[in-house]
Structure 1
Amino acid sequence: MSHLNYNHLYYFWMVCKQGSLTKAADALFLTPQTVTGQIKALEQRLNGKLTKRNGRTIEPTELGQLVFKYADRMFDLSYEMMDIVNYSQRANLLFEVGVADALSKRLVSQILSTTIPMDGNIHLRCFEATHELLLERLAQHKLDMILSDCAIDSSQNAGLYSKKLGDCSMSFYSATPVEEKEFLNNIAQYKLLIPGSRTSMGRKILEWCDRQGYQPNILGEFDDVALMKAFADAHPETVFIAPTSYPAHHNVLAEFSHIANIKDLKEEFFVIFAERMIQHPAVKSVCDADFSRLFK
């Protein structure tokens, strides 16, 4: 059998992964015409059509599905090899972590502290975005691990795993003192600041309000908790929700008045990683750590 051009195979694999010729070309820093030409060369080599168009997306043909299945395993293994080589040879272990922007940064920082070895030989690189975008970057091997507020379904995300690290209850706070009974009986009269409805906690709050029969007066949604607190500080008439105050958060919420703890609302913390990263020392340290005190 004559040699197979693996560049052509890689371009085809990228088109299938992206579902779009244009997106694949952008990711490869090539023109769509160049990618198309390379795939045609691969089709000639394999003597069959590999892709078909379905509306604006490109899908693999029956032959293309077969080729993609093997290519996916090949390139996943190549990424795994490079990951292992990189973190075994670097003087300072590079560890790229994605953090869901809705999570409490104080808690995230304490979780990440477990990744720092005794000799300090690690180079942390943190990327903050939505859960969906982080999963996409993880699947593209652009991240080593994710800290998020929701788990994943491994049956829908082949090769990805998640583990719950802990959870903490949520409370309402305000820069202006408010009685708990007064607030809960008249919640519609208060201007609320909540996590964005795209986040897990944002959806939980809206569902909780619906179950309680509340008609919330939402002034703002914030994907970033720190920004929400800063906004609440500048607008003392507002009420916001955040993890219930305990030692890890004491200094952060000291200037705000605690209104009510809502036990039905819990912020959950999950670590998500690819199968190839199970033996990564930093991932292992997070998965093996006991965070019971942190989430007490």
Structure 2
Amino acid sequence: MSHLNYNHLYYFWMVKRHGSVTLAAEALCLTPQTVTGQIRALEGRLNGELFKRVGRRLEATELGELVFRYTDKMFNLSYEMLDILNYQREQHILFEVGIADALSKALASRIILSVMPDDNSIHLACFEATHDSLMNRLRDHKLDMILSDCAGESLKYPEILSKKLGQCNIGFFSSKPVTRPFPACLEEQPLLVPSRKTSVGQQLHRWFDDNGLNVKILGEFDDSAMMKSFGLFHQGIFVAPTIYQKDPEASHIQLIGQSDQIQQEFHVMFAERMIKHPALKRLLKTDFTELFAGLDVRVQV
């Protein structure tokens, strides 16, 4: 076997990682028929089948698992090489960060700004999306790291590392006065809450049940900024990190209560090869205790 087509190997690697020809084809901007044809050509070169169909899913054969172990090392190493070369050659180092929609944008921005150098040597590019979408982009080497409210998904992928940066208390805010004590006052106005798909959303619904609250939920949001915008326009009680009360835009918003049982966590997730990125190295060494406690000078009024 004197030669292998590396395009064929790359298409195989993408199919194995995405779990289907269709998803791999979308990532490659090719038709499923083209990808299937390339896989068939590789199987012919290797004299064996790389995938078997189990129900509607594709699973790698024993030969496929063997080939994947090597291709995974090959292509991850090639991406690492390109990253290192870019760090050395570019005048401004690109730092591509994904931010989960569910996170507080005020806190996420301060986390990132805290590790940006003053000499403008790093060019920041931010992307907002759902946690699942960002994880796919991270695994496709389209992001350097992501900030998210949960790290469980990263445990599925050995090439993805994660670290918890901290957590903050979640409070209930309203632009209208309430007459009853907390938490009974939450029954007075409709609520704007994070989606049940988010960690905070799940905590909230359990907390409502545990406290016997008969609340009226006006809307559920994947995007925390959109939820806050509805709240600012007097459309009900909304939730946000308690340090939000120190932001200038919250001058006419009151914190009506909070529970220590509801907290938003901040996790950073990244591929192992990205540990060499200067901004990520700085972030992993930074202590964010004061920031999450609301003691950061940038949030003082």
TM-score range, shorter chain: over 0.9
Q: Any residues of structure 2 matched to 1:1-296 within 5 Å, and which? A: 1-152=1-152, 155-179=155-179, 181=181, 183-185=182-184, 187-236=186-235, 238-245=236-243, 249-296=246-293
Q: 1:225 to 1:137 in 2, by over 3 A?
A: same
CA contact (8 A) 2:179 2:185 kept: no
Measured in 1, the distance between the counterparts of 2:91 and 2:3 equals 37
Q: Once the two structures are superposed, what CA deviation does each residue of 1:3-28 show, in whole Å capped at 9, x if it has no partner?
A: 11111111111111222222222222
In the TM superposition, what is the alpha-carbon distance from 1:244 to its structure 2 partner? 0.7
Q: CA RMSD in A?
A: 1.8
Sequence identity percentage: 55
Measured in 1, the distance between the counterparts of 2:12 and 2:159 equals 21
Q: 1:59 to 1:178 in 2, by over 3 A?
A: same
Q: 1:281 to 1:179 in 2, by over 3 A?
A: farther
Instruction: Mark the runs of 5 or more structure 2 residues left unpaired by the alignment.
Output: 294-301
Task: Normalising by structure 2, report the TM-score.
Answer: 0.91
Equivalent AA in structure 1 for residue 247 of structure 2: H
CA contact (8 A) 1:162 1:272 kept: yes
CA contact (8 A) 2:174 2:234 kept: no
Q: Once the two structures are superposed, what CA deviation does each residue of 1:110-169 show, in whole Å capped at 9, x if it has no partner?
A: 111123123111111101011121111111111101111122365422121211212111
**Structure 1 runs of 4+ off > 6 angstroms?**
none
Three-state SS of the structure 2 residue aligned to 1:166 is strand
Give 2:298's aligned residue: none
In the TM superposition, what is the alpha-carbon distance from 1:246 to its structure 2 partner? 6.0
Equivalent AA in structure 1 for residue 162 of structure 2: S
Measured in 1, the distance between the counterparts of 2:155 and 2:29 equals 32
Instruction: Mark the runs of 5 or more structure 1 residues left unpaired by the alignment.
Output: none
In the TM superposition, what is the alpha-carbon distance from 1:282 to its structure 2 partner? 0.6
Q: 1:100 to 1:20 in 2, by over 3 A?
A: same
In the TM superposition, what is the alpha-carbon distance from 1:245 to its structure 2 partner? 3.2
Q: Once the two structures are superposed, what CA deviation does each residue of 1:239-267 show, in whole Å capped at 9, x if it has no partner?
A: 111111367x4313222122112122111
Measured in 2, the distance between the counterparts of 1:188 and 1:142 equals 44
Q: 1:18 to 1:246 in 2, by over 3 A?
A: closer
Task: Normalising by structure 1, report the TM-score.
Answer: 0.92
Three-state SS of the structure 2 residue aligned to 1:108 is helix
Q: 1:250 to 1:154 in 2, by over 3 A?
A: closer
Moved more, 61-70 or 183-192: 183-192
Q: 1:175 to 1:20 in 2, by over 3 A?
A: same
